[in-house]
Amino acid sequence: MRLLVPAVLVLVALIHALPAFGVFGAALYGVTVAEPNLEILLRHRAVLFGLLAAFLAWAAFDPALHRLALVAGVVSVGSFLGTTALVGQPNVALLRVLKVDVVALVLLLVAGACICEHPGSDPQRQRRRGSCPATWHRWPRNGEIARETSGPRFA
């Protein structure tokens, strides 16, 4: 279960990396670009996809970034799905992208649900505890005074 979120983030990073090849003029969407200004915008969009793909891949290996990366992935995929639904009439290539993004959205939502379901995997709490077992202790509840222990406590 703990490998689900990193695996989803790597997969979504690969999905977002494919449009980054548009920087070199690859026509992934089956659209011909006749105007130079539109080509500039599409190539810039490809660079942004590359940056998002790099962030998602980096976040897969940093648990502290999992939540932020899942939100970024949902916003990216969700905005494409929403825009496609509003505008309508996508071509065959965009329908293929739409299907892949629906799968990516489902995976991102499942990964997000797993993070919410297992609060013990909260990276912020792990960071507070520290990586050294000698510093582990139970965090005080309301009104309690923190006690330091000489070693790990598992209660």
Q: Cα(97)–Cα(110) distance, rounded to whole angstroms?
A: 20
pLDDT band at 116 (very low <50, low <70, confident <90, very high): confident
Domains of the chain, by residue range, sit at 4-121
Average pLDDT of every residue of the chain = 80
**Residue 115, pLDDT above cutoff 60:** yes
pLDDT band at 98 (very low <50, low <70, confident <90, very high): very high
Q: What sign has the CA pseudo-torsion 75, 9, 15, 101?
A: negative
Cβ neighbour number for residue 3 with a 10 Å cutoff? 8
Q: What single DSSP character describes residue 147?
A: -
Question: Which residue has tokens 């202790």?
Answer: 137
Is the pTM of the predicted complex or chain greater than 0.75?
A: no
